[in-house]
């Protein structure tokens, strides 16, 4: 999910960046009265994300554009699928083409990569979480893309929850003191999470009453021990060193969540084209 009004503000910035003063090629070459129809085609299999945003690029730049969206965000499509059809003034459609393609390629790339991680742990109870390691200015849409791929959103921003990391704990003096301070001031329905990189910290955080314990860069053996220590009294999130080739073993330790930034930071853009024919 994302806020459509906020997305329009983003589109305005993207188009201003790409167009500059005006589209020199389109204005020289294309008759202002000419119209065209283009098809946005998937050139490889993918999980779709951002298709409505891509459609909005065309209608935002040229309100007279007519867009028919053929697929939904989160839908898995094969090579050759038509994602949308857009008709309208040819000059404006060609000007908006690259911006529309850039965002749907980027977001669908994240969704497609995220789906691989989700599939790798589908046989366990663990759920994949995204992170705040997003592209500045694109967090709302990149987290939407992660959700389209099957992940759950972690904090959307710093105001979404209390995360006590090593430096917070160092300033407060101890995990116990940090959790005590947080419990005294936190909104009633907000969870408190504590980062733990050793098993003694897991015990201390659990005794202090933390709601979620992040097992940061722990070995698989230590994660198993942490699961046995906690016995469901708090939720456990594994984090650090999560890759597609390691996530299965981590999920099988019994943790509740696994957070990783890899699908957000390293997903390649998928291949999508805007063509004048199917």
pLDDT in tens, 153-170: 999 999 999 999 999 999
- DSSP state letter for 189: T
Overall average pLDDT of the 262-276 stretch: 96
Domains of the chain: 4-111+268-275 (3.90.1170.20), 119-266 (3.20.20.70)
**Helix, strand, coil shares, percent, the chain, to 5:** 45, 20, 35
The mean predicted confidence, pLDDT, of the chain is 96
Q: Check whether 17 has a pLDDT greater than 80.
A: yes
pLDDT in tens, 61-99: 999 999 999 999 999 999 999 999 999 999 999 999 999
pTM for the predicted model, two decimal places: 0.94
Strand partners, 95: none
Active site residues: 98, 133, 165, 195, 216
CA distances from 233 to 191, 207, 237 (A): 14, 10, 13
Overall average pLDDT of the 139-144 stretch: 98
pLDDT in tens, 172-204: 999 999 999 999 999 999 999 999 999 999 999
Overall average pLDDT of the 22-45 stretch: 96
Q: d(Cα 255, Cα 244) in Å, to the nearest integer? A: 17
H helices present in 62-127, as ranges: 90-120
Residue in 264, 200, 212, 201 with CA at minimum distance from that of residue 238: 212
Spatial strand order in the sheet of 127-129:
127-129, 257-259, 235-239, 212-216, 192-196, 162-164
């Amino acid at each position: 999910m994302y806020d459509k009004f906020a997305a329009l503000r983003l589109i305005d910035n993207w188009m201003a960046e790409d167009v500059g003063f005006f589209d020199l090629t389109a204005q020289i070459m294309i008759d202002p009265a000419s119209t065209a129809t283009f098809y946005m085609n998937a050139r490889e299999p993918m999980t779709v994300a951002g298709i409505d945003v891509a459609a909005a690029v065309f209608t935002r730049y040229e309100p007279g554009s007519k867009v028919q969206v053929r697929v939904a965000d989160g839908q898995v499509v094969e090579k050759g699928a038509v994602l949308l059809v857009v008709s309208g003034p040819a000059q404006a459609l060609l000007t908006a083409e690259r911006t529309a393609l850039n965002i749907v390629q980027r977001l669908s790339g994240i969704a497609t990569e995220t789906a691989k991680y989700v599939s790798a742990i589908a046989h366990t109870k663990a759920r994949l979480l995204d992170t705040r390691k997003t592209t500045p200015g694109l967090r709302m849409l990149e987290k939407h893309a992660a959700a389209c791929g099957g992940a759950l959103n972690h904090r959307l921003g710093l105001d979404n929850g209390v995360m006590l990391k090593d430096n917070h704990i160092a300033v407060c003096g101890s995990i116990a003191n940090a959790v005590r301070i947080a419990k005294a001031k936190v909104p009633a329905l907000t969870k408190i999470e504590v980062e733990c990189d050793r098993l003694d910290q897991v015990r201390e955080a659990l005794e202090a009453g933390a709601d979620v314990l992040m097992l940061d860069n722990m070995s698989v053996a230590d994660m198993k021990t942490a699961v046995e220590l906690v016995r469901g009294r708090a939720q456990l999130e594994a984090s650090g060193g999560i890759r597609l080739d390691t996530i299965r073993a981590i999920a099988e330790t019994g943790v509740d969540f696994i957070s990783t930034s890899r699908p957000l930071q390293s997903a390649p853009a998928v291949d999508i084209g805007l063509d004048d024919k199917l």
